[in-house]
Amino acid sequence: MIKESVLNTNEASQIFHIEAGDYFIATIKSGSYFRIVDLEGNQAADTLFYNANKPSERYSATDTIREQGNVYLTAGSELRTNENNVMITIEADTCGRHDTLGGACATESNTIRYDLEKRCMHACRDSWMLAIAENPEYGLSKRDISHNINFFMNVPVTEEGGLTFEDGISGAGKYVEMKAQMDIVILISNCPQLNNPCNGYNPTPINLLVLEA
Ligand SMILES: [Zn+2]
């Protein structure tokens, strides 16, 4: 569902620029709004969320999908944790649909899907692992790398029940805006994938704006 934001981005307290292939990790306070902007279009932002005060409570695709009865995420979606609490609400969305079924790219899946020689290519899972290794203060470990959201990524479910990675429906400047309903940690891998059309074969940067409560 396309829904424009009512917020004034001039009031953003922080703007982070995340290059293609980089990770980003930060804490966002309950009640704050945050916006992810697809600067050039057709980028995939592979994102994990945690309860900042209890990292074992984290975003759950299964709880979110079950409760909303819809596999796609957009304005109006409530992002739920593995304890079935609402951690984030999507308040505005100019892209219209985001994936939470496709998972993140990994060297293993690159090898299976594309070619053995793709094994050494940079993948989202590696970016997350680097993020938690370089930022131990968040208390995250390998076991916490779980379900994720692929903001701006187009992964339609076929009539036969299959999944396909399709050319994006996002475009330059499209954004998704959310409100933290608890203190959260956001961990993004700005996807470096070059083998499927989720990035238009050309990974590009994103911005993250935070409007504090
Ligand atoms: Zn990726």
How does pLDDT run across 25-75, given as a tens digit for each residue? 999 999 999 999 999 998 999 999 999 999 999 999 999 999 999 999 999
Instruction: Tell which residue, 170, 145, 166, 148, has the closest CA to residue 43.
Output: 170
Instruction: Tell which residue, 84, 104, 90, 77, has the closest CA to residue 23.
Output: 104
Task: Read off the pLDDT band of 193 (50, 70, 90).
Answer: confident
pTM more than 0.85: yes
Q: Cα of 6 to ligand 1 centre, how many Å?
A: 31
Q: Cα of 213 to ligand 1 centre, how many Å?
A: 31
Q: How far is CA 42 from CA 76, 147, 168, 191, in A?
A: 22, 21, 5, 11
Are the C-beta atoms of 210 and 28 separated by less than 8 Å? yes
Q: Cα of 38 to ligand 1 centre, how many Å?
A: 15
Per-residue pLDDT tens digits for 72-88: 999 999 999 999 999 99
Q: Cα of 147 to ligand 1 centre, how many Å?
A: 13
- The pLDDT of residue 115 is 83
Q: Cα of 104 to ligand 1 centre, how many Å?
A: 5
Task: Read off the pLDDT band of 195 (50, 70, 90).
Answer: confident
Rg of the chain over CA atoms, in angstroms? 16
d(CA 105, CA 85) in angstroms, rounded, equals 27
Mean pLDDT of the chain: 94
